[in-house]
Amino acid sequence: MSAATSPAASAAPAGKRRGYDGVAVTVPVTIPYVRYSTRSAHWWLGRALAELIRGAGIAKGEVDGVCVSSFTLGPDTAVGLMQHLGMSPRWLDHIPMGGASGVVALRRAARAVQAGDADVIACIAGDTNHVDSFRNTVSQFSRFAQDAVYPYGAGGPNASFALLTDYYMKHYGASREDFGKLCVAQRDNALKNPHALMKKPLTLQQYLDARPITDPIHLFDCVMPCAGAEGYLVMSEERARALKLPYARVRSTIERHNAFPEDPIQFRGGWAMDKDALYEHAGVAPADVDFLETYDDYPVINAMQFEDLGFCAKGEVAGFIRANEFTIDGSFPFNTSGGQLSVGQAGAAGGYLGFVQALRQLTGGAGRTQVKDAKIGVVSGFGMINYDRGLCSGAAILERGATQGEAA
């Protein structure tokens, strides 16, 4: 490809970026998921906002910034939702980035708080799931999907991920057993998470014996669509301390959209472009990370995130998976809530699940899923199969801030 036709893209210039000093991320909330809901997205988002306010011990009017992500809120946007919820924020954002929403919301909110454009920002994501929601979301997902993917068997994300999983397995050496090991570990983790919809243990044999859905995707490679909501608050450390809230600090973040458009099929995500800038800005290395929460709509994406976030080299993921244990007390604590594969995928809330779980880990609120002495966590997001590949990627490195005891 010539220079003229190549997109002018380069990695984030770490040296020039400001830090996230003074920013606190706090009050992780989850509105317990259900498989199907007769409620609308407004209900789920409203419940999340109410939980944030209750959790922070503040008045509704003290939330002066809101950031919303939802697939099923239509025809409303964040704007209509504010009237619905009786909010008058001085800062409002709507992030339609699916699985990258949790990280991207943080990026927007943290800068707004630093700049003084808002003092307390509620970041919320939620979706309902009616019996026909998923089909409607899939068939009208994007123009390119409508024109060039959905007419080809209407397999939805299963089909798109089947194609890139097929390619990845053939070229990068991961096997079904490797993917299965991750799914089994996530299920073990989910059994300790009261919010997880999957309550039964999963064995590797059950994983391997599951019925094929869209080769090579089998039943336990797929998430279960459901209804639910997640949320967190962004404010100054000063404010968090005044409210006596345990919080996490932000060491660095990245986002990238439509990375590597020249790749014939997706075998890497935008993290591969920006990971060096991420670690340099954060002043940490992959070896310093105590746990990882990835976006896991399919196991192949977990494998890509291990590589593209620098936990192993490209093509070495099979060896990495075989050499590690991914349970909460394992050598590489991973998707400690159980991830979407075992908790369920509540639409856009799926893009917050890992982020909210990371906050729990770093604020001492993870209960039985707590990773011992967790101080540094990486959260990554991935979203929006617009045509043949996921376009949005993001990651954040978070660290434990003051705990409640310290805050006093």
Partner 1 sequence: MTEPLVKPKKKNPVLRTRLATLPPVPRSRTALGLTRAAAEGVFEMQVCADCGTVQYPPREVCGSCLSEHLAWKPVDNRGELIATTTLRHSNDLYFRERLPWRVGTVKMAAGPSVVAHVHEDCAEGGSVRLTLKLDRSGQAVLHALPEKDTPNMNDAPQLRESTCDPKFRRVLVTDGKSATGMAVAKAMLEAGANAVFLGDASTWKTVPAFDKLVASDPRLQVVELDVTDTDSVDRLAASIGGKVEILVNTADYLRDGGILNRKDVNLARDAMEVNVLGLMRLAQAFGPGMCFRAADGSNNAVAWVNILSIHAHAALPARGAWSASKAAALSLSHTLRAELRGAGVRVMNVFPGPVDEEWEQLTPPPKIAPSGLAKAIVKGLQDGVEDLYVGDIAEELRTRLRENHKAVERELGQ
Please pick, from the candidates 54, 60, 90, 135, the single residue that binds partner 1 as defined by CB under 8 A: 135
Q: Which is nearer to partner 1, 8 or 287 (CB)?
A: 8
Tokens of 31: 């509105």
Q: Does the footprint of partner 1 cover residue 149 (CB under 8 A)?
A: yes
Min. distance of Cβ 219 from partner 1 in angstroms?
10
Using the structure block, give the residue that is written with the tokens 């990495």.
320
Sign for the pseudo-dihedral over CA of 37, 39, 44, 47: negative
Please pick, from the candidates 119, 166, 288, 399, the single residue that binds partner 1 as defined by CB under 8 A: 166
Q: Does the footprint of partner 1 cover residue 15 (CB under 8 A)?
A: no
Interface with partner 1 in residues 250-279 (CB under 8 A) = 261, 264-265
Q: Does the footprint of partner 1 cover residue 8 (CB under 8 A)?
A: no
Min. distance of Cβ 6 from partner 1 in angstroms?
9
Closest to 350 (Cα-Cα) out of 93, 100, 142, 122: 100
Q: Does the footprint of partner 1 cover residue 5 (CB under 8 A)?
A: yes
Check if the beta carbon of residue 176 is closer than 8 Å to that of residue 316: no
Cα separation of 144 and 386, whole Å? 6
What would the x/- binding string for partner 1 be over residues 203 to 242, using CB under 8 A? --------xxxxxxx-------------------------
Q: Does the footprint of partner 1 cover residue 155 (CB under 8 A)?
A: yes
Cβ neighbours of residue 63 under 8 Å, at least 6 residues apart?
49, 52, 53, 87, 89, 120, 121, 122, 233
The one segment of 39-47, 163-171, 342-350, 358-366 that binds partner 1 by CB under 8 A: 163-171
Please pick, from the candidates 156, 269, 350, 383, the single residue that binds partner 1 as defined by CB under 8 A: 156
Min. distance of Cβ 262 from partner 1 in angstroms?
10
The one segment of 80-88, 106-114, 162-170, 223-231 that binds partner 1 by CB under 8 A: 162-170
Please pick, from the candidates 31, 49, 159, 243, the single residue that binds partner 1 as defined by CB under 8 A: 159
Q: Does the footprint of partner 1 cover residue 74 (CB under 8 A)?
A: no
What would the x/- binding string for partner 1 be over residues 281 to 310, using CB under 8 A? ------------------------------
Please pick, from the candidates 88, 139, 205, 331, the single residue that binds partner 1 as defined by CB under 8 A: 139
Question: From residue 145, how far is each of 125, 217, 389 by CA, in Å?
Answer: 23, 20, 10
Check if the beta carbon of residue 308 is closer than 8 Å to that of residue 275: yes
Q: What are phi and psi of 326, to 5 degrees?
A: -110, 10
Q: Does the footprint of partner 1 cover residue 179 (CB under 8 A)?
A: no
Q: Does the footprint of partner 1 cover residue 22 (CB under 8 A)?
A: no
Q: At what angle do helices 299-308 and 176-190 cross, to 10 degrees?
A: 100
Please pick, from the candidates 54, 60, 143, 322, the single residue that binds partner 1 as defined by CB under 8 A: 143
Min. distance of Cβ 8 from partner 1 in angstroms?
11
Q: How many residues bind partner 1 (CB under 8 A)?
A: 38
Please pick, from the candidates 92, 110, 118, 164, the single residue that binds partner 1 as defined by CB under 8 A: 164
Q: Is the peptide bond before 75 cis (omega within 30 degrees of 0)?
A: yes
274, β-bridge pairs: none
Q: Does the footprint of partner 1 cover residue 150 (CB under 8 A)?
A: yes
Cα separation of 121 and 115, whole Å? 13
Min. distance of Cβ 304 from partner 1 in angstroms?
15
Min. distance of Cβ 400 from partner 1 in angstroms?
42
Interface with partner 1 in residues 359-398 (CB under 8 A) = 387-388
Q: Which is nearer to partner 1, 148 or 323 (CB)?
A: 148
Catalog residues that contact partner 1 under the rule CB under 8 A: 4-5, 134-135, 138-139, 143-144, 146-156, 158-159, 162-164, 166-167, 211-217, 261, 264-265, 387-388
